Amino acid sequence: MKTLFEHAKVLLMDEAGSVLDDAFVAVEGTTISYVGPLPPEGDYSECIDATGKLLMPGLVNAHTHVPMTLLRSYGGGCDLDTWLHQYIFPVEEKLDQRAVRAGTQLALAELIASGVTCIADMYMFCDVIAEEVVAAGLSANLARGLTLFSEDFDPERHQGFCDMRELAEHWHGRNEGQILVDACIHGEYTSHPKLWSAVSAFAKEHALGMHVHLSETRAEQEACLARYGKTPTQVLDDYGIWGTRAIAAHGVWTTPEDWEVLASRGVTVVHNPVSNLKLGSGMAPIAAMKQAGVRIALGTDGVASNNSHDLFEEIKLAALLQSGVTGDPTALSATEVLRMATVEGAEALGRNTGRVAQGYVADLILVDMKRPHLTPCHNLEDTLVFAARGSDVVLNMARGQIIYRDGVYKTLNFEQTRREVERYALPLLFG
Ligand SMILES: [Zn+2]
């Protein structure tokens, strides 16, 4: 399969921030084979006229919990602790594979239509999620969220640990890396050091990444200090949790001392501004963390605390928050935020994507720049960050395959999914 995009404006997401005005981008198989101002040689099975459209890398949503889309707008108006224990955990206990499948399909439909080509997910029933991701066509780093609420830990009997081991055996690297499996602890506050030792050893042994919730709330930070005399970042470091490629969601209450640890270990903090604000958790000092050398990516978190999977909302809010909090409109530039949502998110997940360049995975989206709210466009990156919406995406190509075009899903049957959600999943969870 060879596809050629013709006459596109192209945002390369290279170091120089280059934009090509009337360019050609060729895709062969799953890879970008050519980017340039002149048509490349050769025959193409499909040529796409991209006049008036922007071709850019697909977005990377580096922290979500896709099946939680079934809980959209459930438990609103609560802090994290109340929301989790009184609303989320009791409903999650009723989940089964079929409901998770429906919730995953629903989430993927929303993600694909708003320009996401790659996700990092933490949840349960990860086999089902992996199957649906492969069928939908995008890429995912999947992590089985592990908890341990007592000292009693046997890796041969702990359900989550066994699930993680099987997930890694069956799925890690599947389809030339379409699925990667990350090791995981749900968070410091939901687990015990015995689990941390075992999980970090497992990640090192199998060369897996790591996915953790970190310092989301003030209460989490303070309880950890009281328990161990150290912050979550520091105590998890003692147990080697940051010993492989790692993503840490939130980091809202991390300290400058924590940033030194995170920077030195190469940990990427995933910023989820909408979820953090909605739950009243706070605002992560992203500009200061970047200054301190911490890598940053962007995520939506689960839709139950967002209530949307539109990463363009996070992009806009991330930029606005840092300007507002610091009083400096240059604190986090439009370019920096777009990098967080593309190339830096991709690096955080250990993936060769997030840029429009020869040899990179062909994760590409087209944005319709003729929309009223995108006209005129004096500055492309400023327009994308502050004016664009997920619904401006008119084409999603993941791993070289067009999976969404002009409102039509090519790999999903959304009507079937909607019926399954309404007739099976919602009655199961909410009666
Ligand atoms: Zn989360």
Query: What CATH number does residue 66 fall under?
Result: 3.20.20.140
Residue 68 CA to ligand 1 center (angstroms) comes to 10
Render pLDDT for 24-62 as a digit per residue (tens, 0 to 9).
999 999 999 999 999 999 999 999 999 999 999 999 999
Residue 366 counted as domain residue: yes
pLDDT value, residue 227: 97
Cα–Cα–Cα angle for 280, 222, 83, nearest 5°? Answer: 35
Largest alpha-carbon pair distance within the chain? 66
Residue 424 CA to ligand 1 center (angstroms) comes to 25
Residue 301 CA to ligand 1 center (angstroms) comes to 5
For residues 27 and 72, membership in a common domain is answered with: no
pLDDT value, residue 415: 98
pLDDT value, residue 285: 97
Residue 192 CA to ligand 1 center (angstroms) comes to 19
Residue 2 CA to ligand 1 center (angstroms) comes to 38
pLDDT category, 267, cuts 50, 70, 90? very high
Residue 370's domain is classified under what CATH number? 2.30.40.10
Render pLDDT for 171-180 as a digit per residue (tens, 0 to 9).
999 999 999 9
Residue 128 CA to ligand 1 center (angstroms) comes to 19
For residues 316 and 382, what is the distance between their CA atoms, to the nearest angstrom? 10
Beta bridge partners of 127: none
Percent of the chain with pLDDT over 90: 97
| Overall number of domains in the chain | 2
For residues 259 and 391, membership in a common domain is answered with: no
For residues 221 and 210, membership in a common domain is answered with: yes
Residue 230 CA to ligand 1 center (angstroms) comes to 22
Render pLDDT for 302-331 as a digit per residue (tens, 0 to 9).
999 999 999 999 999 999 999 999 999 999
pLDDT category, 237, cuts 50, 70, 90? very high
Residue 190 CA to ligand 1 center (angstroms) comes to 13
Residue 249 CA to ligand 1 center (angstroms) comes to 7
Render pLDDT for 322-358 as a digit per residue (tens, 0 to 9).
999 999 999 999 999 999 999 999 999 999 999 999 9
Give the mean pLDDT of the chain. Answer: 97
For residues 281 and 174, membership in a common domain is answered with: yes
For residues 340 and 272, membership in a common domain is answered with: yes
Helix, strand, or coil (residue 150): coil
Residue 65 CA to ligand 1 center (angstroms) comes to 7
Residue 275 CA to ligand 1 center (angstroms) comes to 9
For residues 130 and 170, membership in a common domain is answered with: yes
Residue 229 CA to ligand 1 center (angstroms) comes to 25
Residues within 5 Å of ion ligand 1, judged at the Cβ atom: 301
Check whether 80 has a pLDDT greater than 90.
no
In the numeric block, the tokens 């069928």 are attached to 135
Q: Which domain holds residue 387?
A: 2-57+356-409
For residues 273 and 245, membership in a common domain is answered with: yes
- Taking residues 412-431, what's their average pLDDT? 97
For residues 244 and 283, membership in a common domain is answered with: yes
For residues 95 and 44, membership in a common domain is answered with: no
Residue 403 CA to ligand 1 center (angstroms) comes to 26
pLDDT category, 9, cuts 50, 70, 90? very high
Residue 415 counted as domain residue: no
What Cα–Cα distance (Å) separates residue 147 from each residue in 50, 159, 192, 199, 307? 47, 10, 8, 11, 25
Residue 286 CA to ligand 1 center (angstroms) comes to 17
For residues 288 and 309, membership in a common domain is answered with: yes
Percent of the chain with pLDDT over 70: 100
DSSP 217: S
pLDDT category, 1, cuts 50, 70, 90? confident
pLDDT value, residue 301: 98
Check whether 385 has a pLDDT greater than 90.
yes
For residues 148 and 294, membership in a common domain is answered with: yes
- Taking residues 78-102, what's their average pLDDT? 94
For residues 235 and 315, membership in a common domain is answered with: yes
pLDDT value, residue 162: 98
Residue 158 counted as domain residue: yes
Residue 140 counted as domain residue: yes
In the numeric block, the tokens 């953790």 are attached to 212
Residue 235 CA to ligand 1 center (angstroms) comes to 20
Residue 299 CA to ligand 1 center (angstroms) comes to 9
pLDDT value, residue 11: 98
Residue 414's φ and ψ, nearest 5 degrees, are: -65, -35
- Taking residues 243-254, what's their average pLDDT? 98
